[in-house]
């Protein structure tokens, strides 16, 4: 069972690493807000990063926003830099779980995972970068298992709503669920909204290097997952979705690859029927499509060259038509934003053999919640950590590198998220 107790030499349940980043600030606030949900009603935690001054400012700001002046004095500060392995080891030795908010993970993630595994701290991140997530699985699974350490990636909006949404849909379906499609729509309030530059940078370098992902995947030597029921038909690159009454395209983030890893784990370890999955995102009407195609074409062209990538990084607002910005969204913009992820599943009722005939039952579920990047992501990340601390017996038997669904399928994570504004329901 996962080790989750603090000791005199490992005093913190949680250490938020990268607390001074745009997302880190909101993760700190979410930890402070939910500290009473820690084991036995309390949580010992600290913030970490490479600048003591910045970290003190983060606590100052959280203290003001939450009217909790005690945060200024009661939360410890740990100085650690990704480039200084000794500082990472010292940080990891003090933590039961490191909440790693330092990205892009392709550049900064691996030394933190290594330090966690070597020094016995569980690791949770909010990466949406398949290369990093699958690379860590390839390189650290056995070492993490030996050490009894859980490395659980993509615990933010990428990809907890999708991954746990498919599991929730399967659990609600009476019979054998064989295929699910999800459709994402984002709601933006009158103040508008955007995503911080940190995620833009992760996307630029992820796409620039997407070819290497195929090579990485071959190294797993996986057998193809069996297809149960009819093969799920892939939709086109752009289509009108009757489900969400707007144009949609395949979702470009980590959700499909994360769900697939989870389904493989559940099939191989628990003999569950693998659920086929297709992820799509709504883009709106014709005007949005023209804008998106234009921005997409320029992005694809520039991302291939160093000077193009430099331009993209320098002017995120210009090249993304305002979808990404160096300043990030304001708190007012976040309040007005929301997401809806609709799942359409099909399968066979109990007693009906999937090898004979067409699926004979459908299900529709919904995961909905607040602004994705800096409200839903901190909620998901912190609830993932609280689940480890409170329900270690419900995690997989061995440590290892896991997707969220693989790690949390048998926990109450969905109930916890429901209580915190990320709601799962059958429609
Ligand atoms: N899953 C999701 O849905 C989701 C949502 C939001 C964000 N994210 C991901 O989270 C990551 C962070 O995004 P962000 O917008 O918060 O970026 P950001 O504001 O640039 O924050 C990056 C953080 O990393 C720290 N850092 C950089 N180099 C470091 C080093 N050598 N040693 C220690 N710390 C270092 C920075 O410290 P300083 O403050 O000292 O510079 C800062 O705290 C990105 O990968 C993004 O894609 C994912």
Tell me, in angstroms, the distance from the centre of ligand 1 to residue 158's CA. Answer: 15
What domains can you pick out in the chain, each with its CATH number? 12-156+374-412 (3.40.50.720), 160-372 (3.30.360)
What CA dihedral angle connects 258, 264, 266 and 271, to 10 degrees?
170
- With pLDDT > 90 as the criterion, what percentage of the chain qualifies? 81
* Predicted confidence (pLDDT) per residue in 135-183, tens digit: 999 999 999 999 999 999 999 999 999 999 999 999 999 999 999 999 9
pLDDT at 320: 85
CA 40, distance to chain mean position in Å, is 27
Closest atom of ligand 1 to 328 CA is 15
CA dist list (Å): 77 to 18, 51, 72, 254: 11, 10, 10, 32
- With pLDDT > 70 as the criterion, what percentage of the chain qualifies? 100
Residue 207 has pLDDT above 80, yes or no: no
- Residue 28 near residue 34 (C-beta atoms within 8 A): no
pLDDT at 202: 78
Degrees to nearest 5, angle at CA 284 with 283 and 286: 105
Residues lining ligand 1, judged by CB closer than 6 Å? 18, 20-24, 49-51, 54, 81-83, 101-105, 108, 126, 128, 156-158, 196, 198-199, 202, 373, 377
Q: Over range 62-83, report the average pLDDT.
A: 97
Residue with the smallest CA separation from ligand 1 atom 33 is 81
Tell me, in angstroms, the distance from the centre of ligand 1 to residue 243's CA. Answer: 35
pLDDT at 195: 86
| Cross-strand bridge partners of residue 368 | 340, 423
Tell me, in angstroms, the distance from the centre of ligand 1 to residue 324's CA. Answer: 15
Residue 286 has pLDDT above 90, yes or no: no
pLDDT at 209: 78
Residue 200 has pLDDT above 90, yes or no: no
- Measured CA to CA, the distance from residue 249 to residue 254 in angstroms comes to 15
Is the CA virtual torsion 162, 166, 168, 173 positive or negative? positive
Residue with the smallest CA separation from ligand 1 atom 27 is 102
pLDDT at 234: 94
Is the CA virtual torsion 374, 375, 377, 382 positive or negative? positive
pLDDT at 285: 87
CA 30, distance to chain mean position in Å, is 16
* Predicted confidence (pLDDT) per residue in 386-403, tens digit: 999 999 999 999 999 999
Residue 210 has pLDDT above 80, yes or no: no
Alpha helices per DSSP H over 34-159:
52-66, 71-74, 85-93, 105-119, 130-147
| Cross-strand bridge partners of residue 348 | 176
Residue 7 has pLDDT above 90, yes or no: yes
pLDDT at 36: 96
β-pairing, 95-100 vs 76-79, is: unpaired
pLDDT at 293: 83
Determine the residue of 48, 54, 101, 155 to mutate for testing ligand 1's pocket, defined as the one with the most ligand atoms within 8 A of the Cβ atom.
Answer: 101
**3-state secondary structure (DSSP) of residue 126:** coil
Can you give the pTM of this predicted structure? 0.96
pLDDT at 59: 98
């Amino acid at each position: 069972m996962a080790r989750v107790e603090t000791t005199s030499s490992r005093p913190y349940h949680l250490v938020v690493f990268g607390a001074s980043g745009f997302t880190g600030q909101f993760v700190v606030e979410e930890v402070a807000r939910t500290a009473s949900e820690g084991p036995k009603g309390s949580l010992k935690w600290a913030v970490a990063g490479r600048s003591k001054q910045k970290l003190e400012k983060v606590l100052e700001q959280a203290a003001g926003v939450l009217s909790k002046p005690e945060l200024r004095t009661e939360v410890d500060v740990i100085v650690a830099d990704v480039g200084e392995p000794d500082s990472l080891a010292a940080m990891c030795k003090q933590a039961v779980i490191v909440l790693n908010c330092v990205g892009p993970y392709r550049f900064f993630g691996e030394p933190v995972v290594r330090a966690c595994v070597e020094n016995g701290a569980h690791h949770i991140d909010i990466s949406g970068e398949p290369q990093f997530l699958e690379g860590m699985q390839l390189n650290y699974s056995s070492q993490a298992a030996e050490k009894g350490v859980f490395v659980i990636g993509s615990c933010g909006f990428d990809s907890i709503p999708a991954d746990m949404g498919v599991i929730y849909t399967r659990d609600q379906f009476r019979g054998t669920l064989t295929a699910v499609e999800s459709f994402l729509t984002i709601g933006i309030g009158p103040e508008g909204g955007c995503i911080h530059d940190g995620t833009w940078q992760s996307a630029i370098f992820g796409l620039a290097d997407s070819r290497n992902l195929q090579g990485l995947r071959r190294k797993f030597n996986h057998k193809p997952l069996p297809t149960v029921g009819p093969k799920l038909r892939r939709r086109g690159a752009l289509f009108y979705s009757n489900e969400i009454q707007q144009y949609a395209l395949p979702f470009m983030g980590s959700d499909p690859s994360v769900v697939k890893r989870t389904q493989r784990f559940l099939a191989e370890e628990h003999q569950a029927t693998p659920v086929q999955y297709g992820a799509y995102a709504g883009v709106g009407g014709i005007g949005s499509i023209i804008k998106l195609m234009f921005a997409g074409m320029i992005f694809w062209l520039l991302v291939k060259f160093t000077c193009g990538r430099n331009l993209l990084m320098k002017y995120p607002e210009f090249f993304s038509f305002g979808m990404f910005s160096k300043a990030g969204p304001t708190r007012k913009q976040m309040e007005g934003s929301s997401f809806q992820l609709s799942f359409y599943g099909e399968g066979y009722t109990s007693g009906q053999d999937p090898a004979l005939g067409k699926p004979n039952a459908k299900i529709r579920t919904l995961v909905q919640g607040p602004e994705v990047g800096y409200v839903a992501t901190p909620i998901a990340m912190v609830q993932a950590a609280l689940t480890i601390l409170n329900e270690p017996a419900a995690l997989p038997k061995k440590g290892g590198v896991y997707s969220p669904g693989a790690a949390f399928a048998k926990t109450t994570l969905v109930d916890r998220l429901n209580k915190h504004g990320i709601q799962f329901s059958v429609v």
